[in-house]
Amino acid sequence: MTEAKSAGTATLTVDGKTVELPVLAGTDGPNVIDVRRLYAETGMFTYDPSYTSTASCDSELTYIDGEVGILRHGGYSIEDLAEKSSFLEVCYLLLHKELPNKADLEDFQDTITNHTMIHEQLRNLYSGFRRDAHPMAVMIGVVGAMSAFYHDSTDINDPQQRLIACHRLIAKMPTIAAWAYKYSVGQPFMYPRNDMSYAGNFLRMTFGVPAEEYELSPAIEKAMDRIFILHADHEQNASTSTVRLASSSGANPFACIAAGIATLWGPAHGGANQAVLEMLDQIGDKKNIPEFLERAKDKDDPFRLMGFGHRVYKNYDPRAGVLKQSADEVLEELGARNDPLLELAMELEKIALEDEYFAERKLFPNVDFYSGIILKAIGFPTEMFTVLFALARTVGWIAQWKEMIEDPAQRIGRPRQLFLGQTEREYVPVDKR
């Protein structure tokens, strides 16, 4: 890991005591005040319940500038990677922090291709779920259960086993996700094929049937691969932070990724793509947009404009821009150019961005606003949208896991608190209460 540079000190005076805290500079983005000695020197904690001003770790993987709307992996812009790279090449970049040469890319693709099948006993796990189980519940169950199967890649102190765990998770997620869909619709599971691309294999396992050859559309295959790239990693978001905290205890990688999937499911995070489609269905027609915008502003109304706003981006999420362009291309390919949902979403975006409430709070469309429209056009049910997010984000989670485990300075994460409960008091026997 690159060493942080000293950028002077911060002076803190509290309770008549003055402490000098080191200020550290990274290669890009805000400097940090190193508060690791604060408690020892002042007897006080910092207080930042939802981590709005807290850097939880060092990382070289992904850089975001929310003010400008920049997202880079290993220094490469998301726009460049979405246009010129492939999802497996981005996976290699996140695992190794460098783009592969031709030979390494081919080796990596072969490795992933040859790990796409899952243990047949894992297949039996699906039948324990109800057919109408939310597929994210199935994903948590099946991925967590991988801990019980792949014992030769759970020793986190063995670099080779760590790499195999990364390869297995990246390779098997499309199979696990596609089978969650097949199970929900009562169709037979389709096995992966070694002569197809990562995205093509996933589309065939999801929409193909044994009764006929699956007709793969190259344009949809490319759009699927691009959607995976756009969801691959995103710095220290809620689900990635969960994976890092779970991993800091030494838990095996499969259990940690299952924890990440669980966190991503929430509608404030990865579950927003499903919530956007449900919101658009609820709005129904352009004439209802003003009423829903008023509801979104009403503090007493739980309604939020799903797919809008972001903790970091106070500008347009660069991924939303690429997805909006992709939506046009996919709908064109599917002959659904004038999809009323896309029309409604674009009108909603236009009116919201002109509205003072959204403008002054810098609420812009995020990655989830357009992704659902494309996924619905391709044929995925809304319950599968967050599953696709988890499929793509697995490489980000596991790359962040690998980076943390390989950092010699890492220790178990253990936040403290501001205690507001009862101070000491005598126990009162029940017959005296």
Q: How far is CA 48 from the centre of its chain?
A: 22
Q: How far is the CB of 268 from ligand SDX (least distance, A)?
A: 4
Stretch that binds ligand SDX, among 38-46, 157-165, 325-333, 360-368 (CB under 6 A): 360-368
φ, ψ for residue 11, nearest 5 deg: -100, 130
Q: Does the protein bind ligand SDX through residue 5 (CB under 6 A)?
A: no
Round to whole Å and give the CA distance between 235 and 167.
20
Q: Does the protein bind ligand SDX through residue 304 (CB under 6 A)?
A: yes
Between β-strands 32-33 and 62-65, what pairing exists: parallel, antiparallel or unpaired?
unpaired
Round to whole Å and give the CA distance between 4 and 164.
30
Taking the least distance from each CB to ligand SDX, the nearer of 174 and 307 is 307
Stretch that binds ligand SDX, among 93-101, 106-114, 246-254, 302-310 (CB under 6 A): 302-310
Question: CA-based angle 131:135:141, to the nearest 5?
Answer: 95
Taking the least distance from each CB to ligand SDX, the nearer of 140 and 363 is 363
**Residue 354 token pair:** 């002109």
Q: Does the protein bind ligand SDX through residue 361 (CB under 6 A)?
A: yes
Taking the least distance from each CB to ligand SDX, the nearer of 222 and 310 is 310
Round to whole Å and give the CA distance between 118 and 171.
9
Residue in 233, 339, 355, 368 annotated catalytic: 368
Number of chain positions touching ligand SDX (CB under 6 A): 21
Q: How far is the CB of 216 from ligand SDX (least distance, A)?
A: 28
What single letter denotes the amino acid at residue 431? D
How crowded is residue 175: how many other Cβ atoms within 10 Å of its Cβ? 24
Q: Does the protein bind ligand SDX through residue 234 (CB under 6 A)?
A: yes
58: nearest Cα among 295, 256, 244: 244
Q: Does the protein bind ligand SDX through residue 309 (CB under 6 A)?
A: yes
Q: Does the protein bind ligand SDX through residue 280 (CB under 6 A)?
A: no
Round to whole Å and give the CA distance between 299 and 302.
7
Establish whether 355 is a catalytic residue: no
Taking the least distance from each CB to ligand SDX, the nearer of 21 and 177 is 177
Q: How far is the CB of 234 from ligand SDX (least distance, A)?
A: 3
Output the residue with the shortest Cβ distance to ligand SDX.
309
Q: How far is the CB of 71 from ligand SDX (least distance, A)?
A: 9
Q: Does the protein bind ligand SDX through residue 394 (CB under 6 A)?
A: no
Those residues with Cβ within 8 angstroms of residue 316's Cβ, 6 or more apart along the chain or in another chain:
69, 364, 365
Q: Is the CB of residue 94 less than 8 Å from the CB of residue 233?
A: yes
Q: Is the CB of residue 65 less than 8 Å from the CB of residue 53?
A: no
Q: How far is the CB of 361 from ligand SDX (least distance, A)?
A: 4
Q: Does the protein bind ligand SDX through residue 130 (CB under 6 A)?
A: no
Round to whole Å and give the CA distance between 307 and 272.
6
Helix, strand, coil share (%) of the chain residues, nearest 5: 55, 10, 40
Q: Which of 279, 367, 388, 398 binds ligand SDX (CB under 6 A)?
A: 367
Q: Does the protein bind ligand SDX through residue 151 (CB under 6 A)?
A: no
Radius of gyration of the chain (CA): 23
Q: How far is the CB of 42 from ligand SDX (least distance, A)?
A: 28
- Angle, to 10 degrees, between the axis of helix 87-96 and the axis of helix 102-113? 100
Q: Residue 106 to residues 102, 109, 110: CA-CA distances in angstroms?
A: 6, 5, 6
Q: Does the protein bind ligand SDX through residue 310 (CB under 6 A)?
A: yes
Stretch that binds ligand SDX, among 78-86, 138-146, 298-306, 398-406 (CB under 6 A): 298-306
Ranges within 235-274 binding ligand SDX (CB under 6 A): 237, 268-270, 272
Stretch that binds ligand SDX, among 162-170, 216-224, 304-312, 406-414 (CB under 6 A): 304-312
Round to whole Å and give the CA distance between 402 and 399.
5
What single letter denotes the amino acid at residue 369? F
Round to whole Å and give the CA distance between 173 and 143.
8
Establish whether 310 is a catalytic residue: yes
Ranges within 368-387 binding ligand SDX (CB under 6 A): 368
- Angle, to 10 degrees, between the axis of helix 87-96 and the axis of helix 198-207? 120
Residue in 167, 310, 317, 355 annotated catalytic: 310
Stretch that binds ligand SDX, among 135-143, 166-174, 177-185, 301-309 (CB under 6 A): 301-309
Q: Is the CB of residue 59 less than 8 Å from the CB of residue 49?
A: no
Round to whole Å and give the CA distance between 286 and 79.
30
Stretch that binds ligand SDX, among 39-47, 168-176, 180-188, 358-366 (CB under 6 A): 358-366
Taking the least distance from each CB to ligand SDX, the nearer of 363 and 387 is 363
Q: Does the protein bind ligand SDX through residue 298 (CB under 6 A)?
A: no
Residues tagged active-site = 310, 368
Residues that bind ligand SDX (CB under 6 A): 234, 237, 268-270, 272, 296, 304-312, 361, 363, 366-368
